[in-house]
Amino acid sequence: MSFSDYTTAVVTGASTGMGAAIAERLAKRGLTVHAFARNEERLKELADRTGSIPHAVDLTDTAAVAAELEGLEVDVLVNCAGVSRPGNILDSAESDIDELIDVNLRGLLQLTRLVLPGMVERDLGHIVNISSIAGTYNFYGHTVYHATKAAVHQISRQLRNDTVGKRIRVTEICPGRVETEIFGRNMGGTPEAMEEAWKTYYEGYESLTTGDIVDALDYAVDTPRHVNVGMLEIMPTFQVPGGLVFDRRD
């Protein structure tokens, strides 16, 4: 399948960053894009720019999401919405754990549950899950984020088993560091925090851009219908995963 096989897409986390860039590319490819996010103002800006249809909804409210999907035949579902929090399990608050699981995992599963049966019935569809190298490699901090992205990695593989024999394609895009607002939001979300995050995490680095992620998605969706691109791990050339620590205790 290529873009010519599809007419309608749903993109979550579409108000900013990778989600907004993906929504814009899919609209340029001729799809009717339904953009889901919580920020109504930014969704309106996206709609004005791309012609996408805004859905200001909290993905953790399954009933509200189901209502927004009523009557839609979704050909392409891009699960891009995600949140992060600094710190590891030793200093995570109860609310931090709940929000990361609710948005990154439960919201993705519930939305997929709502959309996938229609794809199976029509024998047509493509699900793209945006995960993270945090789901496949271990490094310090962000323990709950790692756990949710590891789950997204496994879900992406399992969906292929769930739909075997149907023309349903599932792609996981697994990025390293991408220039988005995520670090700034982790630092408080103020203009000052955004500036400090840029200086700390991006200035002087050759990070990925949202355009790099969009190009990967474009490739995966546009491959012939007999091809399923299962996983694309995309990292900056100067970023490597892993590393071994052996802590000596005297």
CB 34 within 8 A of CB 8: yes
Q: Is-catalytic flag, 145?
A: yes
CB 217 within 8 A of CB 31: no
Sign of the C-alpha dihedral, residues 77, 126, 130, 15?
A: negative
Give 28-32 contacts, CB < 8 A, sequence gap 24+.
Answer: 29/3, 29/218, 30/3, 31/3, 31/6, 31/7, 31/75, 31/76, 32/7, 32/8
Measured between alpha carbons, how far is residue 169 from residues 110, 196, 227 in Å?
18, 40, 8
Question: Choosing from 6, 140, 145, 202, which is the catalytic residue?
Answer: 145
Catalytic residues: 145
